[in-house]
Structure 1
Amino acid sequence: MTSASEAYSMATFSSFLPHPPPWRTSGVAALVDHDRPGGNVHDRASRATLLARIAALLDQPLLGLLDVAQAACTTALLVPGEALEAPVARAAGIADRQGLLGGIVPALFIGTKAITHGLVDEQAVCPTGWSFAMSRLLGDAALPGYTAFTQADAARAGRLLLAKGPVRIKDVCGKAGLGQQVVRSAADLDAALACEDVADLAEHGIVLEEDLTDVVTYSVGVVELGDQSIGYWGTQTLTTDHKGRDVYGGTELHVVRGGFAELAALALPDRLAQAIRCAAMFDAAAHAAYPDIILTRRNYDVIEGTDALGVRRIGVLEQSWRVGGASGAEIAALEAFRAEPETRQVRCATVEVYDLVTPPAGATVYYRGVDPVVGAMTKYAMRYA
């Protein structure tokens, strides 16, 4: 059986990168469900700009939006908005990692926050295909916590965690820091869990983990696109939306050619080296626990913060195996490396502001307008160094 240290060694010295795939000649397209267009106006506009940048980077035609049936008739590079379940990927004609930018998972829950933690005990309810090895392989790469698929299991897990301090309850499908709340007592826990839909809980699960304060959130990842692969670490920023909530405000990335091995070789402060180590361990554990996953875009949110005892902790919060908030910066880095073959490192960023602002000169604007749902917003990406 693979230990956590062995998993880290696997991740550090093997970046899970294949030989460069052949070019996909028919173009670049978003894989969508035409009957259920995903995201708000700013999400769709951002995706359209991202697709155009990817197509230009690869010197491929831009095909726009394709559904599963349409995609099956092409040899396009497909960019889904979420990690794909394996049957959907097969129906879309994706035979291997050459066919997409994102991820393919055997079951929906594997692409969510649910796999970040183990179950409260061996009697806990879990979906078919759940790996009991994942939490063991993770070791201390994630914060103390549990995943539950029933209210009863969640209540037991929450009480165990409350004995050590406040507990954060998280929607496993939540994005941009939304769908979360902190409870500090068993009464608050029970009240929060009573609001959960039983059927939704059984299908998706819920995460409960120790709450940290005074936090910094890092992004660590690897992207394979065309004949290039990049690895990066970065820090996320928060901003305030029009409802006064703290939400995702962008990511600044330090990007190198290669993958986890190249990131591990960097001379970085201990906290950053540990964040990279945690992300690499999570990546290796996921590949070992769920060997059928196919990933070409792997991003891990890693938190550093103070626990209830005053100890600084670092651990993976979640994975993102789809294009996401940092993808604009990832493409900017890939563009820089393609234009400058001798360049080994670059610094790029994405920025999201809930206002109409003028982006700096040289920025790629992903959205600037008034979204009917979220209000005025400006999103852009740029290279700083």
Structure 2
Amino acid sequence: MKAVSIENLDVIFGDKAVLSAELLDQGKTRQEILEETGDVIGVSNASISVEKGEICVLMGLSGSGKSSLLRAVNGLNPVTRGSLKVRAGEEMVDLAGIDENTLRDLRSHRISMVFQKFALMPWLSVVDNVAFGLEMQGVGKAERRQRAMEKLDMVGLSEWHDKLPHELSGGMQQRVGLARAFCMDSDILLMDEPFSALDPLIRNQLQDELLELQRKLNKTILFVSHDLDEALKIGTNIAIMESGKIIQHGKPEDIVLRPENQYVEDFVAHTNPLNVLRGRSLMTPIEKLEKENNSLILNEREQTRLVLDDEGEVIGAIRREEDLLLSHWNDSQPVESVKKDAVVITTADISMRDALEIRYRTGQPVLLESEEKIVGILCDDDFYHALLGKHFSQAA
């Protein structure tokens, strides 16, 4: 179910929007239009859909248009041309030409926003900051305080409820901003680079906390970031923008493995692929392993082999004629639980980071299965391909 639907959207800042739109249609660049009309093209011909419960990350360099697009979703930036619809219950409401009362209702009940600079009111306590939106809705004091305390407990700040914002660290203040947004119980949450001003360790922690909260609350989130590793970590889908246009939109793994043009390839070239790639994308298919009698050779130097039954199914593993433990692992288990020298069987959708740690702990290749059949292995060459950026050519 679509929560946000954007089609052929233009957002133009200036007094000559009609003329600037005509120049856009003629293929003029942002700079050419700025010089001719003085208008700034914030968003140009953008089309994108965001499903309910999805985290869509708008990604791009400074000035790419990502914040301009985000702020159009709650009406902070007016629509010049095109369609921008958000879900309000069973219907989709188009923000192009929306009246003030409907827009106010959307902001009060359907869409919340978390800002980069926290936007906390310094004279209000933490709990009153969290409850402020409910107060604007006319919710009674007892109820709004109860709901605010529930959300503060959710972000681990209930003991700080009576403090003022300046008594909290930057990371804690951002948690208050998250609690305030979640307290409104809005369907759609807009987040404009909310963690970029924080130290890397705090940023990483808040990313983890956001993902955990999302698992519990299943909100629709549009998240603006200039940090690709952050986008790959939290995004269900990523939209990469340049000069107001959406250049590529898709799953994180597709963005990394199959960039649609040189701009996107350059954009993702220096990211850590272990954060997004899955075993299936880089595995060596089982059919490519050398077969010897009733076994498949995993590591010729170590004389490690998989033993097959008459049907070709894996029934064991040996190294220099000694049996090795075959064990199954899934991501609900700690990686530390795998045993040294064990040959681990896991899902083909395992993250490359988890697979690499299993390889490090066991000293053995990792077996990947799909529909209860071994479909491939991850050996050192596969990990080197990922780390050296060779996955582009492998995907092609």
Q: TM-score, structure 2 length as denominator?
A: 0.27
Which one has more relative contact order, counting CA pairs under 8 Å at least 6 apart?
Answer: 1
Q: In terms of Rg, which structure is larger? A: 2
Q: TM-score, structure 1 length as denominator?
A: 0.28
More helix by share: 2
